[in-house]
Amino acid sequence: MFIESNLNNGRKRGWIEVIVGSMFSGKTEELIRRLRRAEIAKQHVEIFKPTVDTRYSASEVVSHNENSIRSTAIDNSSTILLLSGNIDVIGIDEAQFFDENLVEVCNKLANMGIRVIVAGLDMDFRGEPFGPMPGLMACAEFVTKVHAVCMRCGHVAQFSHRLSDGGKIVMLGEKESYEPLCRECFRAINPQT
């Protein structure tokens, strides 16, 4: 499905790939897999994550399965443009935590001939579109939606249900704070949705 080479008639061609889904669906795992393949292909790769994501490591993107790849933590999406010189592939994890300008940044990078791979939650704990993700999905050439397993019934899960109270949209947590749910189980808990 994806073209591993960035060259076409001697000219670099860029594009945007977006990997979305609920928590525990394998988004970061898939991001790491694609970035490792690019490294094997001897492409210059740079990975970014938001500084707010301090769950596993400050200097690595780490999946729930504990696979990791080095990364640079940044405060805002504009910094990616400053650090993207001589790069073939850029990976961005936890994209939902970045500012809305991330869509413009990713488009600029793709227009410069860079393959941009973005992973993030498509919905927040309320089941609503999260941050820049809808805009990224709209302008991406490729969108992959991955799913978790519903912790209540075992069906396909696409919602990240927050187990604790709190109205803040951004609240970092793991299995103690969130569980993946299918639509039916999510609606049973959140009938207003």
**What does the DSSP assignment read for 28-86?**
HHHHHHHHHHHHHTT--EEEEEETT--SS-SSEEE-TT--EEE-EEESSTHHHHHT-TT
| pTM listed for this prediction | 0.86
Q: What is the pLDDT of residue 164?
A: 72
Q: What is the pLDDT of residue 1?
A: 46
For the chain (193 residues), the mean pLDDT of every run of 10, in chain order, is: 50 93 94 95 95 68 66 92 94 96 98 97 94 97 97 96 70 68 95 75
Q: What is the pLDDT of residue 57?
A: 62
Task: Kindly list the catalytic residues.
Answer: 94
Would you give the DSSP letter of residue 95? G
Rounded CA-CA distance 131/99 in Å is 7
Query: Where do the domains of the chain lie?
Result: 7-147
Shortest CA distance to 115 belongs to which of 5, 21, 1, 189?
A: 5
Shortest CA distance to 84 belongs to which of 114, 43, 53?
A: 114
**Which H or E run includes 191?**
none
SS3 137: helix
Rounded CA-CA distance 59/73 in Å is 7
Q: Class for domain 7-147, per CATH?
A: alpha beta
